[in-house]
Structure 1
Amino acid sequence: MAARSLQKAINVFPSSVDLLFQNQTARAKTAFLNLCVTNLCTSNSRLSAEDGSNHKLKHSYFHAHSPYPLSGLTIGGALEKTTEKFPDRECLVFCDTGIRRTFSQFMEEVDQLAAGFIKLGLKKGDRVGIWGPSTLEWVLTQFATGRLGIILVNINPAYQVREVEYALRKVGCKGLVSSLHFKTQNYYEMLCQIAPEIERSPPGQLKSTSLPDLTTIIMMGESQQPGTYRFDDVIKIGGPAEVAEVHDRNSELQFDEAINVQFTSGTTGHPKGATLTHHNIINNAIHIGERLGFDRDHDRILCQVPLYHCFGMVAGVLCMAVHGAANVFPVAGYDPVATVKALEAERCTTIFGTPTMFIDVTTQAELMKPNLPCLTKGVMAGSPCPVEVIVKADEVLGTKIQVAYGSTETSPVVNLMFRDDPHDKRTTTVGRTLSNTECKIVDDQGNIVPIGAPGELLSRGYCVMLKYWGDKEKTKSAIDQNGWYHSGDLAVMDEEGYTRVVGRIKDLIIRGGENIYPTEIEDFLHTHPMIDDVQVIGLPDPRMGEEVAAWIRLREGESITVDEIKEFCKGKISHFKIPKYIKFVEEYPLTITRKVQKFKMKESFAKELGLID
């Protein structure tokens, strides 16, 4: 048993052990591992107690213990370690373009791009936005910025002009790496609407009144756009001196430093910039992979979730960097038919997706009848996961779906199923907390509630974000003085530590995995000259999880149609934020203090539309 335990200690977190003893003798390293083994047997009973198998919880607090230390690796360091271990293993596949990369090929390109960034004058602490769908250039930018300590700012590909402007201004981006276009959007033209100076500025010398911090724009694609660099040129301009400097700069980085900003909806109607460190997302990827078996198996992940989202960026490509799992992207955007084809052609072992994506993929798989002998794992997350969707995916795809729960602010995963969890737990809860993380459920006074009682779900540990960028007050309201992140979700914990999310304290709408805050849409619709007041709610939808609905009160004497309201929204707010259902009203259900009762609106409108009984 001791030999098996020693091998497990070496295999699960080899990079952590190497990091701890990089300046020590082999004897010191062996002594440490032997000490781990000596304590591992005694820790097994403690582990059993922590995971709820030997005792029943009385209060809604769960701490997932782990015998292994947290990793002190940075993003660049993690990729470097894995490349040394698996240089010739395939790590990335982009099916629509035919692009494939091994770890050694990818590592070389990452350092070449980082060298190009150095040549352009970008340095540690600068913010560089990335705007576009899932492509090789996106992943290269993620790791090249990570190698230099440049803070990557994820920008939703569906953002419209004013949303992009807000994101770039909020974080003070000095650089932007952007696709030329995606779907119906021409990103370069949109940028020129924000900053007309781009077209008449030399590359790297932008001076804009609307985007005062932005100087450097790098466009993907073959054509040269005025005022910008071509991505393919930037990756070539760095020489041996700059590549050497990449290694020097990477070695000086600290794992607790900020490295990523991801926008999440906020209570004021504007997105908040969740700021994450190397430590946050590297360790989350380690623990996700550990629970999914990526640390033991050579997995091939079908990653149809977008890279700008924490799900794709951390559970996808960072699991590649720390565990050696290949990532397969069917298309740059989303296409369930392409997903089914890629699952079969690339012999994928794992599929990621939101419930909406799994509904689409299982529907297509029933029609296409693919041969999927390798596919055994699946992770469903991003919005509430109906039991029927989980069961259907397992039946059609041959998976054993593991539901994940978390938020951008927690890097993102806090809870995740084990593959061997009982069926009823696996399909009706979000599992138990990941290793080295605490969760508790509290009442309105902040007291831990008894088992089975609902309350707000809080989490604490390495996974909690550093801050909301430029928002001290919002950070304080989200993370209390004891380090607990307040999710705003209502949940119930059972005596074994399994958690079931029963609702949301906030009015957040989750449509197909996209977080939508009603206030943002309400503020926009209020700009229409005919609208007097508007209230936005989410209504249940069997495919998307929820759809956006709006109750609109017009100014006296005004008249407008539903189609005209939707046309007003097009091109001004993201397509997924445009209300599907619109109702014109004279008044809203109110409390005695004149507060709108949205829960009454949701219930009555859903019944009116036949969405509920």
Structure 2
Amino acid sequence: MEWFHSQDVVLCSGLKESYVKGDCTFPLLQFSLGNALKRAAKKTPDNVAVIYADSDVHVTFSELSHQVKMLAKGLLAQGVTKGDVILVSCGHGTDFATLFYAIVSIGAVFLMPYMYEPQHISLKQIINKVNAKMLIINERNTSLTEALKTIAPNMLVRSGSVNTFDHMPEVPSLCAVVVYGCNGDKGLRDIFAETSTTDKQLSVVQNMVSPEDPCIVFISTGTTGEPKAVLHGHRSMVNTSYSLHHRRNAQGRVVLGIENPLDDDVLSVMGIISATVNSDVTCVVTPVNKQCEGAISDVIVDAIEKYSITHADLLPYMWKDMILHGSIDGHGLSRLKGGFTGSQALGVESVKSFTALVPEFMNVYGSTETSIVTANFKDDPLMERRLGSIGFPVARVEVKLIDDQHNVVPIGEPGELCTRSPFIFIEYMGEPERTRTVKDEDGWYRTGDVARMDQNGFLYFIGRKADNIRFKKMGDVIYPGVIEAAALKHNKVAEAQCVGIKNDDDCIGDDVFLCIILKPGEDMKEDEMEEHCQVELIKRDQPDHIFIMGAFPRVGIRKKVSKAKLREICQ
């Protein structure tokens, strides 16, 4: 019972309906991201805020605050105003945190999207979707400058300066392009150094930024494949970081290893926010990984060892790479206490292997629209719940599970997961109707995920509602997550995905296809998995077809499995 009453939220017991809220006693923070940096610089000016591992550069809160002030004044002098969307390319080296805070501190909106190939199509689509006013590029990103030339062949862009334009029909909102270098006098701060903006003028602008104002756009394809410009506000980002820090419940100073911005946008941004909101955090931006098996773990383990990283927030495939391919002999991870992952559902075996690597590992559930919804507890005495659930709502997050008639379902019954909190996104930019289809007037967001809740309010992920399979008899609904979880219980299986493909007989429904990837060095025939499923699953849920594959088709920077492409392969 001591554990039950010592968490960051009030835990529940004896619930009858699938509704729960993360009630807490600590306050909702009511300040902007710019003010978060100011508070940290005042409280702990000499503490290191950010370490850039690629160049071994350490930046204190005081230094970061000064750099942000200078760059923010330069942005104002170039006509950037509150609400303007500033699109920045990845790969800003030691200017990453400076650029982020300079933009959001004056009320502008930060956007750092992953550019899909062909980049000229992706770039044009994003600029026009969010009406970006300025584009900031590192000169090393030659592919993006070439993409610009393809979009607007007559556009003349010089490195080392702010290039302004009156009107370009292809991207009418874009007024300026900044291309800067890393050496000499062409650096980002050098370009914006000459400014007429006074300290008083900067202060006036920054004081006009409120917690309700927008601050960042994430471009998400999620599991749907359709790009969405997800707009979040200062309050959302500040309190997401604050609540997650409470759930992490770390003892002592946190040295947080995060993704390099070239590898992920969300986790890298959340890391530098965590450093300022929770000023007992130092954020280590890990080197760029080579996006190939084995190379990822070597880069991360080297950074963990060199900078005595205590926690690492990484995507699932990076944790997996560390386990399967990393040259880990123990000493490199001796100081690593915990970390979290998210972006996709994990099986029990994956969580177990991650927890074995890092004892305080946390499995986090959320989405681009919701930020963090739930997370498990690092010291949950029920190991089965810690491994199998997606946790309990973090502070101030409400969760309910509903049926197709929008009624809250009884405890233990599957339902669509809906959530409401101060962390919910503002809107899909330029798409009010799309926003209204998922977010109602009371602030409830429909995730499209199916889950069940136990009597203590812990959530168990079942699958995407859109991926549910109509069974071939009696119209029953099958949840892919149930079949995937059963397959993952086999000690030879590393990954499992399940899809439904329409049967030629339209009265039957879908055939169930189970696709698996084996662990390195393992061998299996389809009939072995078939026998396993007969033991683990009721007859209704047993797959019609089993495919053993070398890899799954993945999309996006987070490498989520594409169910659509998987269906194409299976057909």
- Cα distance in 1 for residues equivalent to 2:168 and 2:123: 15
Q: Which residue identity is paired with 1:500?
A: Y
Task: Identify, as 1 or 2, the structure richer in helix.
Answer: 1
2-structure distance, mates of 1:119, 1:79: 22
Secondary structure in 2 matching 1:91: strand
Write the deviation string for residues 295-342 of structure 1: whole angstroms up to 9, x where unpaired.
Answer: x6310011126475333322x111111002111122135632110011
- 1:479 matched to 2:439? The reply is yes
TM-score of the pair, normalised by structure 1: 0.73
Aligned Cα root-mean-square deviation (Å)? 3.4
Q: What is the match of residue 278 of structure 2? A: 323
Which residue number in structure 1 is paired with residue 535 of structure 2?
none
Any idea what SS the aligned residue of 1:176 has? strand
Seq. identity, %: 23
1:282-361 to structure 2, matched below 5 A, reads 282-293=238-249, 297-304=252-259, 306=261, 309-314=265-270, 316-324=271-279, 325-333=281-289, 335-361=296-322
Matched, 1:107 2:65: yes
Map of 1:77 onto structure 2: 35
CA contact (8 A) 2:110 2:217 kept: yes
Give the equivalent residue in structure 1 for 2:565.
none
Which of 371, 377, 400 is residue 440 of structure 1 equivalent to?
A: 400
Q: Secondary structure at the match of 2:362?
A: strand
Deviation at 1:180, TM superposition (A): 3.2
1:162 corresponds in structure 2 to: 121
What is the CA–CA distance in structure 2 between the aligned matches of 1:374 and 1:196, rounded to whole Å? 52
Question: One-letter code of the match for 1:79?
Answer: L
Correspondence list, 1:327-406, <5 A = 327-333=283-289, 335-396=296-357, 398-406=358-366
Distance in 1 between residues matched to 2:65 and 2:495, nearest whole Å: 38
Please tell me the residue identity of whatever aligns with 1:114: A
Aligned counterparts of 2:93 and 2:399: Cα–Cα separation in 1: 35
C-alpha deviation, 1:274, in angstroms? 1.0
Which digits, 9 at most, give the CA deviation of each residue in 1:13-56, with x for residues without a partner? xxxxxxxxxxxxxxxxxxxxxxxxxxxxxxx989999411xx31
Q: What's the secondary structure of 2:466's corresponding residue?
A: coil
1:157-236 correspondence runs (5 A): 157-158=115-116, 160-181=119-140, 186-199=143-156, 203-205=163-165, 207-222=167-182, 231-236=188-193
State the alpha-carbon separation in 1 of the partners of residues 464 and 228 from structure 2: 18
Partner of 1:607: 547
Does structure 1 retain, via aligned residues, the 8 Å contact 2:259–2:267? no
Closer/same/farther in 2, CA of residues 163 and 279 from structure 1, 3 Å limit: same
Q: Partner residue of 2:390?
A: 430
CA–CA distance in 1 between the matches of 2:285 and 2:8? 38
Listed as ranges, the matches of 1:470-549 within 5 Å are 470-507=430-467
Tell me if the contact between 1:179 and 1:187 (Cα under 8 Å) persists in the aligned partners: no
TM superposition shift of 1:100: 1.4
Cα deviation, residue 353, structure 1: 1.3
* Structure 2 spans left out of the alignment, 5+ residues: 291-295, 469-486, 516-542, 553-571
1:237 counterpart SS class: coil
Residue 597 of structure 1 deviates from its aligned partner by 5.1
CA deviations over 1:415-466 (Å, ceiling 9, x no partner): 0122211322221111100111100111111111111111110000211111
Q: Which letter maps to 1:350?
A: H
Q: Distance in 2 between matches of 1:340 and 1:48?
A: 30
* CA–CA separation in structure 2 for the residues paired with 1:484 and 1:366: 45
Q: Provide, for residues 211-264 of structure 1, a one-character-per-residue CA deviation record: whole Å limited to 9, x for no partner.
A: 111111122424899xxx86243342236x434322221111121111111112
Residue of structure 2 equivalent to 1:257:
213
Q: Which range moved further: 386-395 or 283-292?
A: 386-395
**CA-CA distance at 1:610 after TM superposition:** 8.5
Mapped partners of 1:441, 1:63: distance in 2: 12
Deviates more, 1:257-266 or 1:457-466: 257-266
CA–CA distance in structure 2, aligned partners of residues 139 and 81 of structure 1: 16
Q: 2: CA distance between counterparts of 1:299 and 1:611? A: 36
Check whether the contact 2:255–2:283 (CA below 8 A) recurs between aligned residues.
yes
Query: Which residue of structure 2 lines up, in the alignment, with residue 562 of structure 1?
Result: none
Contact 2:286–2:299 under 8 Å retained in 1: yes
Q: 1:414 is matched by which residue type in structure 2? A: V
> Residues of 1 paired with 2:104 and 2:9: CA distance?
38
Give CA deviations for 1:145-199 in whole Å, capped at 9, x if unaligned: 11100011231155522112111111100001223345xx622111211122322
The alignment covers a number of residue pairs equal to: 489
Give SS of 2:163's match: coil
Q: Say whether the 8 Å CA contact 1:305–1:352 is kept in structure 2.
A: no
Q: Give the secondary structure class of the aligned counterpart of 1:318.
A: helix
Would the aligned equivalents of 1:128 and 1:176 in 2 still touch at CA under 8 Å? yes
Taking structure 1 as reference, are residues 597 and 178 closer, same or farther at Cα in structure 2, changes over 3 Å only? farther
Rate the CA distance shift 1:257–1:428 in 2: closer, same or farther, 3 A: same
* Change beyond 3 A, Cα 1:427–1:463: same
Change (3 A) 1:267 1:291: closer
| Residue of structure 2 in register with 1:67 after alignment | 25
Which whole-Å CA distance do the structure 2 matches of 1:219 and 1:611 have between them?
A: 38
| CA deviation after TM superposition for structure 1 residue 600, in Å | 5.4
CA contact (8 A) 1:60 1:450 kept: yes
- The aligned counterpart of 1:451 is 411
Q: Distance in 1 between matches of 2:199 and 2:494?
A: 48
- Provide closer, same or farther for how the CA distance between residues 545 and 467 of structure 1 changes in structure 2, counting only shifts above 3 A: farther
Is structure 2 residue 54 aligned with structure 1 residue 96? Answer: yes
Quote how far apart the aligned CAs of 1:66 are: 1.3
CA deviations over 1:259-294 (Å, ceiling 9, x no partner): 111112279853111111111111111101111125
Quick one: structure 1 residues 491 and 257, their matched pair in 2 at CA, closer, same or farther if it must change by over 3 Å? same
Change (3 A) 1:588 1:195: farther
SS in 1 for 2:446: strand
1:471 partner amino acid:
E
The one-letter code matched in structure 1 to 2:338 is K
Supply the distance in 2 between the matched residues of 1:272 and 1:302 (Cα, whole angstroms).
28
Does the CA contact (< 8 Å) of 1:75 and 1:147 recur in 2?
Answer: yes
Aligned to 2:373: 414
Instruction: Write the distance in 1 (CA, Å) between the matches of 2:107 and 2:343.
Output: 28
